């Protein structure tokens, strides 16, 4: 009897962030609630991944689900599918950011049987239960399928499945969970023209604080060294953040944490509020600055200035909170002078605040559905024609060269 689902998190490149595969844990819990056996294989942590994968193929499998973001993970998805096909007829389902951005093209691949779009808890559960029972799957919301060569993709929103319990035990076998990500909100209300967040999460949704508190309690059972609040802008609403930490104190939950936010959101905070956040355990804040060029900042609708970044950097230096900054290069129309201004801002930030951390200089990624994508096309970007070809386009890939004239 088929009653098992195998979930796979593919490796990417040497610069990847080795966080636990939270996307797979989210879709796993509804399956567990419905008495489906779930296993997770994280390719990044397996010394002999092919042998492990082959050992987990079996007649009891309903399907294999693979999470995938745009870039090098696609090469691994291709290799995984090509490994599975001669050994098993089990359906292969692709979800995650890339399938959400380009579901039709992803589904068109001979290596893919189904795609799941957006938040996968509900559509993947529906798909798995239908496959288990031998029922038709065409037309399910936020799902793509194909039958007799005909593709059907339904982007309609699916009914929400409330996930407040994260099954960390599925990845516990790899040892201590030193950093555990927790998401307290999905999406972002801002409109940066390069960012795919609005495509992946069209609406900004805050998770109820009671649910966030439950996730924190569960995470702390594993004694992590850090909680990583993985929101796009964890400090967007200060009152909500302070209420969450107040509830943590009331429940005896104390921990160190890192989070992401925006320059303007933190710059407008009172110094005392930031001191309070530091006392609650916030040790570092991550900021996407992207560019030191005023023209590029305007092009990407970042709604910040380099002067604001410099002011924020000094403020955090005085308060003893370590900032992490991320930058990009290769934007459409970017010039040598624009790039030089970015390097100059990086030097300035490190000079003013030696504790500041500068992440690697990422490559701009043209994501379909974003406003800047159309600019990239006009500037000569040639969009990959197949799912597999998108493996070369990714911000974390050191070998990626933007396929249009950067005017540098």
Same domain, yes or no: 202 and 339: yes
Look at residue 169 and tell me if it is in a domain. Answer: no
The residue whose two tokens read 């201004």 is 341
For the residues of 90-145, what is the DSSP string, one character each?
A: --EEEESHHHHHSHHHHHHSTT-SEEE-SS-HHHHHHHHHHHHHT---TT-TTEEE
| Closest to 117 (Cα-Cα) out of 96, 138, 146 | 96
Same domain, yes or no: 190 and 247: yes
- DSSP designation for 336: H
Same domain, yes or no: 34 and 75: yes
pLDDT range class, residue 18, cuts 50, 70, 90: low
pLDDT for 13 equals: 60
State how many domains the chain has: 2
pLDDT for 404 equals: 31
Strand partners, 322: 284
Same domain, yes or no: 18 and 114: yes
Look at residue 50 and tell me if it is in a domain. Answer: yes
Contact of 228 with 257, CB cutoff 8 Å: yes
Beta-strand pair 150-154/143-147: antiparallel
pLDDT (mean) for 389-398: 72
pLDDT (mean) for 316-324: 93
Look at residue 408 and tell me if it is in a domain. Answer: no
Distances (CA, A) of 345 to 2, 16, 308, 351: 57, 25, 11, 10
Q: Report which of residues 314 and 408 the model is more confident about.
A: 314
Report the chain's C-alpha Rg in angstroms. Answer: 22
> Is residue 180's pLDDT more than 60?
yes
- The domain in which residue 273 lies consists of 176-364
- DSSP designation for 268: T
Look at residue 170 and tell me if it is in a domain. Answer: no
pLDDT range class, residue 50, cuts 50, 70, 90: very high
For the residues of 290-327, what is the DSSP string, one character each?
A: E-S-HHHHHHTT----HHHHHHHHHHHHHHTPEEEEEE
pLDDT range class, residue 398, cuts 50, 70, 90: very low
Same domain, yes or no: 141 and 186: no
Same domain, yes or no: 141 and 188: no
pLDDT (mean) for 27-39: 96
Same domain, yes or no: 141 and 234: no
Helices 22-33, 121-133: inter-axial angle, 10-degree rounding = 50
| Closest to 122 (Cα-Cα) out of 183, 8, 209, 31 | 31
Segment among 11-20, 48-57, 184-193 with least mean pLDDT: 11-20
pLDDT tens digit string along 345-361?
Answer: 999 999 999 999 998 78
Same domain, yes or no: 63 and 183: no
> Is residue 14's pLDDT more than 50?
no
Look at residue 166 and tell me if it is in a domain. Answer: no
Look at residue 194 and tell me if it is in a domain. Answer: yes
pLDDT (mean) for 236-257: 95
pLDDT (mean) for 18-24: 85
Distances (CA, A) of 121 to 86, 158, 185, 197: 29, 9, 16, 18
pLDDT tens digit string along 279-306?
Answer: 999 999 999 999 999 999 999 999 999 9
Average pLDDT, the chain: 90
Look at residue 314 and tell me if it is in a domain. Answer: yes
Segment among 15-19, 198-202, 248-252 with least mean pLDDT: 15-19
pLDDT for 165 equals: 84
Predicted model pTM: 0.91
Same domain, yes or no: 189 and 86: no
pLDDT (mean) for 68-75: 90
Residue 21 sits in a domain whose CATH number is 3.40.50.2300
pLDDT range class, residue 161, cuts 50, 70, 90: low
pLDDT for 177 equals: 80
pLDDT (mean) for 135-154: 88
- The Cα–Cα gap between 352 and 247 comes to 36
> Is residue 344's pLDDT more than 60?
yes
Same domain, yes or no: 182 and 294: yes
pLDDT range class, residue 150, cuts 50, 70, 90: confident
pLDDT (mean) for 203-229: 93
Q: Report which of residues 140 and 158 the model is more confident about.
A: 140
Same domain, yes or no: 192 and 52: no
pLDDT-above-70 percentage for the chain: 94
pLDDT for 117 equals: 95
Same domain, yes or no: 84 and 192: no
């Amino acid at each position: 009897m088929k009653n098992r689902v195998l979930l796979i998190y593919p490796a990417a490149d040497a610069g990847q962030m080795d966080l636990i595969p939270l996307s797979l844990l989210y879709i796993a819990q509804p399956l567990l609630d419905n008495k489906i056996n779930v296993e997770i294989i994280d390719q990044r942590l397996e010394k002999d991944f092919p042998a492990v994968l082959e050992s987990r193929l079996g007649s009891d499998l309903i399907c294999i689900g693979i999470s995938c973001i745009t870039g090098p993970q696609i090469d691994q998805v291709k290799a995984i599918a090509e490994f599975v096909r001669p050994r098993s007829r089990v359906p292969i389902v692709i979800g995650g950011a890339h399938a959400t951005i380009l579901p039709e093209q992803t589904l068109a691949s001979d290596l893919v049987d189904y795609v799941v779009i957006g938040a996968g808890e509900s559509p993947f559960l529906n798909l798995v239960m239908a496959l288990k029972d031998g029922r038709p799957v065409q037309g399910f919301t936020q799902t793509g399928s194909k039958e007799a060569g005909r593709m059907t993709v339904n982007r309609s929103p699916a009914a929400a499945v409330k996930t407040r319990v994260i099954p960390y035990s599925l990845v516990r076998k790899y040892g201590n969970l030193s950093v555990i990500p927790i998401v307290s909100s999905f999406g972002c209300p801002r409109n940066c023209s390069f960012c795919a967040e609005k495509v992946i999460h069209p609406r900004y949704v805050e998770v109820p604080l009671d649910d966030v508190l439950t996730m924190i309690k569960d995470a702390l059972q594993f004694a992590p060294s850090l909680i990583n609040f993985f929101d796009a802008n964890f400090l967007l609403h200060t009152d909500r953040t302070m209420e969450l930490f107040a509830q943590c104190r009331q429940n005896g939950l104390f921990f160190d944490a890192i989070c992401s936010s925006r320059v303007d959101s933190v710059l407008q905070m009172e110094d005392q509020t930031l001191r309070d956040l530091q006392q609650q355990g916030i040790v570092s804040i991550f900021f996407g600055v992207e560019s030191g060029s005023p023209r590029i900042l305007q092009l990407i609708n970042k709604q910040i200035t380099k002067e604001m970044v410099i002011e924020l950097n000094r403020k955090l230096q005085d308060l003893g909170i370590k900032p992490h900054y991320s930058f990009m290069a290769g934007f459409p129309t970017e010039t040598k002078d624009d790039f030089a201004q970015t390097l100059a801002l990086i030097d300035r930030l490190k000079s003013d605040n030696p504790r500041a951390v500068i992440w690697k200089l990422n490559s701009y990624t043209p994501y379909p559905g974003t406003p800047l994508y159309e600019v990239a096309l006009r500037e000569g970007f040639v969009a990959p024609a197949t799912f597999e070809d998108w493996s070369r386009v990714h911000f974390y890939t050191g070998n990626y060269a933007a396929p249009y004239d950067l005017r540098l």
